[in-house]
Amino acid sequence: MPNKLKVYKKSGKVQRSDIRLTKDIATMLQAEVLKGKSLFSSKEIILRGQTERIVIKAKTLQMWIYRNAVIPETGEVLRDFLDQARAEYRSKEREKRQEEMVRNAEKRIGGIIAMPTKEPVVGMFGKITDKKTGEVVMRENPHLVDKVLNASKFALERLDPGKYGKVDRSMNKHLVFSLADLAKAVEEDERQKQNEV
């Protein structure tokens, strides 16, 4: 069904009338891109709207992009419209990966913080037991305590930086001098040395 309206491209040329590109088709293409699907993986692109199903040949879509076809209702170039959708999809995927990495790091830090630091005391003949109670004698492992303390400090510094954050305050004042001042100081030193001789 050819378009009856004259649609002008950014270059000022009239868009071909046999192009069936509409805002609905562009929106459906955008939805496919936002799902992460490749539009050129097959010869035909099947778009499903709320009430309709549209089949577009991949070659037609390539021509729309190549010729900088404009969406008639919005006046936006289809290529730019799809590029924005692709950038949005990549941004969301990046955020998902970062959130997953944060969750994994939180689990690991939580596991380290919850790690028991006591271990059984081992003698020549195995674990040492208390003669009165019959229980295994336990002692703190300094290496495990160190790991738990470091993980705890790291977590506290990040979660409550106002209270536990590292604050380096310097009372030093900012020094500014010029090369002319340096040259004057060198000349004065030389004069004093000559006066002393």
Instruction: Give per-residue pLDDT as tens, 13-56.
Output: 665 554 578 788 888 888 888 888 888 777 877 777 666 677 78
| 10 vs 156: which has the higher pLDDT | 156
* Residue 152 falls inside a structural domain: yes
Q: Do 35 and 99 fall into the same domain?
A: yes
Q: Do 90 and 131 fall into the same domain?
A: no
Residue at which a domain ends, from 60, 75, 104: 104
Q: Do 25 and 95 fall into the same domain?
A: yes
Q: Do 16 and 63 fall into the same domain?
A: yes
Contact 63/15 with Cβ under 8 angstroms?
Answer: no
How long a stretch of residues is the chain?
197
Q: Do 11 and 34 fall into the same domain?
A: yes
Q: Do 7 and 88 fall into the same domain?
A: yes
pLDDT score of 151 more than 80: yes
Contact 39/58 with Cβ under 8 angstroms?
Answer: yes
* Residue 182 falls inside a structural domain: no
Q: Do 75 and 136 fall into the same domain?
A: no
The string over 163-175, giving b where at least 16 C-beta atoms fall within 10 Å of a residue's C-beta and e elsewhere, is eeeeeeeeeeeee
pLDDT band of residue 152 (cuts 50, 70, 90) is confident
Q: Do 153 and 122 fall into the same domain?
A: yes
* Residue 48 falls inside a structural domain: yes
| 195 vs 17: which has the higher pLDDT | 195
Q: What is the residue-averaged pLDDT of the chain?
A: 80
* Residue 2 falls inside a structural domain: yes
Print the domain residue range for 50. 1-104
Q: Do 158 and 139 fall into the same domain?
A: yes
* Residue 63 falls inside a structural domain: yes
Q: What is the mean pLDDT of residues 180-193?
A: 84
Strand runs (DSSP E) across the chain, as ranges? Answer: 44-48, 53-57, 118-120, 122-123, 126-127, 138-140
Could you report the per-residue pLDDT of 98-132, keeping only the tens digit for each?
888 888 888 888 888 888 888 888 888 888 888 89
Q: Do 46 and 6 fall into the same domain?
A: yes
Q: Do 22 and 100 fall into the same domain?
A: yes
| Number of independent structural domains in the chain | 2
* Residue 54 falls inside a structural domain: yes
Which of 33-47, 60-74, 76-90 is the most confident on average?
Answer: 76-90
Instruction: Answer whether 0.95 is exceeded by the pTM.
Output: no
* Residue 195 falls inside a structural domain: no
Could you report the per-residue pLDDT of 157-179, keeping only the tens digit for each?
877 777 777 656 555 666 666 77
* Residue 185 falls inside a structural domain: no
Residue at which a domain ends, from 104, 129, 147: 104
Q: Do 77 and 152 fall into the same domain?
A: no
